[in-house]
Structure 1
Amino acid sequence: MGDAARRLSALAEQALGTPLPVRIRAWDRSESGPPGTPLLVVRRRRALRRLLWKPGELGLARAWVAGDLDVEGDLYEALELLAGHLWERGGDTGRPTGPAVLLAALRDPALRATGAGLLRLARPWPPPVPPREEARPAGGPLHTVRRDKQAISHHYDVGNAFYEHVLGPSMVYSCAYWAPDSTLERAQEAKLDLVCRKLALTPGQRLLDVGCGWGSMALHAARAYGVSVVGVTLSEEQALYARKHVAEAGLTDRVEIRVQDYREVHDGPFDAISSIGMAEHVGSARYAEYARELHTLLRPGGRLLNHQIARRPLGDEAHYRVDPFIDRYVFPDGELAPVGRTVTQLEEAGFEIRDMESLREHYALTLRRWVANLEAHWDEAVRLTSPGRARVWRLYMAACALSFERNRIGVNQVLAVRTPASGASGLPLRTRDWR
């Protein structure tokens, strides 16, 4: 047995100034590090080459997706232990603390021997080809209709059967609303019903569901509240799935599913708008336009329910950068904003903000259930997509669950009204009664 693991552990400690808190197993089957901790498996030297050719989180992401890196043991525990070393950002400055610091350290003259040791271990020629699961959006400006459609397709058009295994029968891809004894299905139905109650839907009204996904919200609103729904998505596969289930429910007279951008909807006004887990795709450069478009599509007195993931504000917002793993492998061109900025832009578009509810802990619970679903159907998920795609979703969902639990990101439902000139919002004095 060789000594690659020992050398890797020593190099990491020299560069980072602290031992790695997990055990390492290298490609030569050698192991090093604290016993009883999760095992970080470096299956191939190529993992190091990926880091040297693309320092930082993107190199790590490519190594994970390609299977060059793996974790044996409790994935959540491993991510908790490694977070500060690998991908969490330093303080409120936005400066990276992980691989970028490692590579900066290796450029320090005092650590040239460490750098030389890493190079010898990696054998860095030639540069590895990125995994095929990596998104390569078209050029040009962000968040045009064409580019947004490509980004949405990368994330959602990977097979409806794959998502059925992960999300379960509800096919709802946003956080559920949990009670202590809930199942995932009941908790997702409770979330959909919460949205409908906040919107005060009544029979005969028109609802626009922006980013309708697989149609779950549209079906629930039509079936339980008697409204007519227009659901829009940029995903062809989602639309096919949603239309099939609308037809099976006998609701084609009340639910229309379109492959359409929200900027191309011109048949308002609507009595209510739901936007659940869609605004993260809009982008900071387009958010004011998004808010204005939805305001225009609502009748005076109509309500908007905007359900959106938020990040914590940085001390200097100029340092904000989209996570490279998320951008290349999960949500291309997606951006998270602090909830305060979202509320401000909705207000600037003319909305009156009437309620904001944080569901942060609810999303952590939901993600852990999705990870469990994926792991329970792992072989089938790999068959339906690819090993790399399944690995993307497992890491992404597990890491996000921890981020919600650690209060690094949140999710909020903002209820806004297009209040008419008379000032009559139509809401009760006790807002949480909703009607």
Structure 2
Amino acid sequence: MSVAPRLAALIEQVLGGPPPIGLRAWDGSTAGPQDGPVLVVRHRRALRRLLFRPGELGVARAWVAGELDVEGDLYDALERMTDLVGARPFTLPAGRRAAIARELISLIGPVVPVPLPPPPEEVPRRTGALHSLRRDRAAISHHYDVGNDFYELVLGPSMVYSCAVFGTPDTTLEDAQAAKLDLICRKLGLREGQRLLDVGCGWGSMVLHAAREYGVRAVGITLSAEQAAYARERVAKEGLEDRVEIRVQDYRETADGPYDAISSIGMAEHVGAARYREYADRLLGLLRPGGRLLNHQIARRPLEDERTYRADPFIDAYVFPDGELAPVGRTVSLLERAGFEVRDAEALREHYALTLRHWVRNLEARWDEAVRLTSPGRARVWRLYMAASAQAFERGRIGVNQVLAVRPPAGGASVLPLRPRAWVERAA
């Protein structure tokens, strides 16, 4: 029998139903529905990866290596494959598991299969304690130090790597990113002459916007040397060296408060559950009484038993090493325990889905250039991770929230306008 029908039969054993997506194998055979996206198994090595790593990580490794591909709508394909990728063959009866393994081995070939080394974009072996200074620097370098030209291609001229804020679905990405930065400035109540600390400043977009549009003196900190170099060039080009400083520095090493305001945009996901209270304590200590914190952070849904939480294996291995997501309730609780008064939380889940779809379009439109700037594997990692993330936001599996918190002044006097969300419109 040809390969694809045999693969379809295996999928039916795992799922208890027919394949949800069309299949085409390396021998040219097909199976399953052919009126939508098609999963292309380009090489039998993909099956070796699935044999030893069933589920998401095995599929991801085969994808990164170019042994699996999708023809047609990638978003539709990912939706159809959700149950298949998340299937747990080891929950099946032992006899059925053994039969599936034997069939996979027979498809792989006559030689006894052994595990393949993972594709080179996978995170190398990690050393040091989780979320130690040294290990966090290595994790950040893996994700961000892959070439500023590549990030320009994906992110566009704004060079903002976080959720934009769209006025309508037709708003351009650049306008939506500018709107997000300005919204944060308004929530922080920035005024000329104030000091702003941007934790995880990326390529400098937030500090540049705040200094240029609001006249603040801004410090941006990042652990990425490539980001810092790029941001400093932007600062010099705009002639803002007297108002903007970029440092390669961890938030745990920052000690030159007090600041009037702190922004943390898409950085707290790297902090980790074990360090989050320390993160909150340190930011509180860097703020003057009455100062504001804007914490912009991806959130996941809470679990019945939080001890069972595990990071997504593909994201952890290929995208954000040691990254951790927390429910928004836990984030708010820890900020309050540190001494912050949480004054506002705004959910922007749909906006991140739109943002990611823009990034995917940018990548696909200049695919050959992206491959040249990095590697085929790295480009494939990014396409899969961003498309899958867009779907996760669209389906409500994850969210993103802006939490505004204040370091209470002595006596607890109010430091915010009486009218709720007065920052929605910029003052004239």
TM-score surpassing 0.5? Answer: yes
1:420 offset after TM fit, Å? Answer: 1.4
Map residues 23-102 of structure 1 onto 2, 5 A cutoff.
23-87=22-86, 98=87, 101-102=88-89
CA distance in 1, matches of 2:12, 2:90: 13
Residue of structure 1 in register with 2:2 after alignment: 3
8 A contact 2:342–2:403 mirrored in 1: yes
1:112 offset after TM fit, Å? Answer: 3.5
Matched position secondary structure for 2:290: strand
8 A contact 2:356–2:390 mirrored in 1: yes
Amino acid at match of 1:122: I
1:319 offset after TM fit, Å? Answer: 1.9
Structure 1: gaps spanning 5 or more residues: 88-97
8 A contact 1:210–1:273 mirrored in 2: yes
8 A contact 1:137–1:150 mirrored in 2: no
CA distance in 2, matches of 1:431, 1:215: 30
Tell me which of 110, 113, 120 is aligned to 2:99: 113
CA distance in 2, matches of 1:333, 1:136: 12
Amino acid at match of 1:147: R
TM-score normalised per structure 2? 0.96
8 A contact 2:105–2:113 mirrored in 1: no
Amino acid at match of 1:55: P
1:139 offset after TM fit, Å? Answer: 1.9
Residue of structure 1 in register with 2:201 after alignment: 212
Aligned length: 421
Residue of structure 2 in register with 1:154 after alignment: 142
TM-score normalised per structure 1? 0.95
8 A contact 2:158–2:174 mirrored in 1: yes
Matched position secondary structure for 1:128: coil
1:56 offset after TM fit, Å? Answer: 2.6
Map residues 272-351 of structure 1 onto 2, 5 A cutoff.
272-351=261-340
Structure 2: gaps spanning 5 or more residues: none
1:176 equivalent to 2:164? Answer yes
Residue of structure 2 in register with 1:95 after alignment: none
Matched position secondary structure for 1:191: helix
1:86 offset after TM fit, Å? Answer: 1.1
8 A contact 1:142–1:333 mirrored in 2: yes
Deviation sequence 1:303-344 (CA, Å, 0-9, x none): 000000000112222221101100010000000000000000
Map residues 377-396 of structure 1 onto 2, 5 A cutoff.
377-396=366-385
Matched position secondary structure for 2:269: helix
1:110 offset after TM fit, Å? Answer: 4.2
8 A contact 1:137–1:147 mirrored in 2: no
1:137 offset after TM fit, Å? Answer: 4.6
8 A contact 1:137–1:151 mirrored in 2: no
CA distance in 2, matches of 1:216, 1:305: 16
Deviation sequence 1:125-174 (CA, Å, 0-9, x none): 23211110001253231001110000000000000000001000000000
1:51 offset after TM fit, Å? Answer: 1.2
1:58 offset after TM fit, Å? Answer: 1.5
Taking every aligned residue pair, what percent have the same amino acid on both sides?
A: 70
Tell me which of 414, 421, 424 is aligned to 2:403: 414
8 A contact 1:16–1:102 mirrored in 2: no
Residue of structure 1 in register with 2:219 after alignment: 230
Q: More displaced, 309-318 or 221-230?
A: 309-318
4+ aligned runs moved over 6 Å, structure 1: none
Give the CA RMSD over aligned residues.
1.2
8 A contact 1:232–1:261 mirrored in 2: yes
1:166 equivalent to 2:154? Answer yes
